[in-house]
Structure 1
Amino acid sequence: MFQKTTESDSLYNDLEQKSIAELLQGINTEDQKVPQVIAGILPQIEAVVAQVVAKLKEGGRLFYMGAGTSGRLGIVDASECPPTFGVPHEMVIGLIAGGDSAIRKAVEFAEDDTEQGWRDLQEYNVDKNDIVLGIAASGTTPYVIGALEQCNAHGIVTACITCNAGSPLDEVAQFPIVAVVGPEFVTGSSRMKAGTAQKLILNMITTTTMIQLGRVKGNKMVDMQLSNHKLVERGTRMIVQATGISSEEAKERLLQHQSVREAIKSIEDGQ
């Protein structure tokens, strides 16, 4: 019988009687377990990344789907790809049960609709060129499961991130990632360890994918968007490091080309 590890009793009790220091120590102790769990499931993550890279190389898209914390984490990861790697906004898309308003405020029972997830995907004309990754700590979110079932039926590759082994989501996804991080410090509060695990895995998926797609040179974000002064200064330093020219000339080149990659190329080509 399927039991949710994410809902099992905390290893700690009488939390309201503990000092601030004791609470922080307990949370930190639990948090340290997360990367250890992820280290044990790297082959699962690798399998998903291989699928994502293949689809994106062919012009497909990566969709994240989730509800509540899981949905928000997917949206955060998707929204950070364009400024970090200079890719189009439509390459990685995050969808959340209840729509964009649910990013800030929970929409009651939105996650319980088994058909809305597929309807949301259809608005983007999802097809076989794409990959859809469902995110649900519980592994039981109807919004996500219903969408992945329809994707399977339409020949669309599916993956998931969940924190419960043997969950319905684990079983429906073609490429599941299952990070069993154990009971939360506050029983059932899956925004804690489960959320941390999801965030770490999402970081790994998109960062590794973008490197594989050639969006990083050496160890630098040469395709990042120059959307503020901090990033202009970072880009300037990258150009100085790569070419040895002065900071003044590097910044001038950067502002001229609006791209670290193109600025470096122009200097290397002697233009």
Structure 2
Amino acid sequence: MEEYDFYEVGGEEEARLHRQNTSIQLLIQKVARLYRMAQFIAVALLLLISGALALLITVGLGGRCHVSADQKATMITDSNSSGINSQRGTERFQANTNIKNPSAMLTAPRGGATDGEYLQWESVIPHAFCQGGFSYSNGSLVVPRSGYYRVFVQVTYESNGEQCPKPQMMLNNKVLYVPYSYNKNVTLLTSDDVVRCSTELWRKSLHTFGLFFLEANGRLRVTSTYPKFIARNEYQVFFGAELLSSQ
């Protein structure tokens, strides 16, 4: 009886160990499958990320190549072109992107209003400007290129403590144009009014404008009959031009 019990106990122990070994083997196999699956997922994610990066780079580089129709002609160059041609193309492209429509606005100067025959102007500050090729020097506004321009001028006269030279004054402004092709003044605009100096305080504003064809490098300038009575505020006294259509 005792020997039978011993064999029975030994058999149960062996069966229990066998079940444990089987469970361990199954667990190892499951872990191995999970490890292989994790490796597969990692490789798949790596491929997906690589593809996404490649797509982003391609789209980014492609976006840089899209330019306006006006710029394509200056940006596209032959791969066999010389360095000089490439440099010229770059310069033309930079110039095209910086072009502004020619326009100028000159205002009353802080100092004296005249220098001899022609009115002087402020061309830089605070609201005066010259752009698109316009330049100003010693009373003359120089036209940058041939075309049709709107030319305008306003001059305000006012009592300022100066004694009137006569009881009644004829105020007159003229915009003169000197074409580049011949050095001679041509009157483009004129405006006039009468002021009676019998009143203690008075003010007159003369404004006019017109459309004209102007040559490149032609000069515009303004004359006045009584410059010492011209106001000093930029919103009262200004002169300028702007290109409407090139030739």
State the TM bucket, normalised to the shorter chain. under 0.3
TM-score (norm 1): 0.20
Determine which structure has the larger helix proportion and give its number. Answer: 1
TM-score (norm 2): 0.21
Determine which structure has the larger strand proportion and give its number. Answer: 2
- Based on CA coordinates, which of the two structures has the bigger radius of gyration? 2
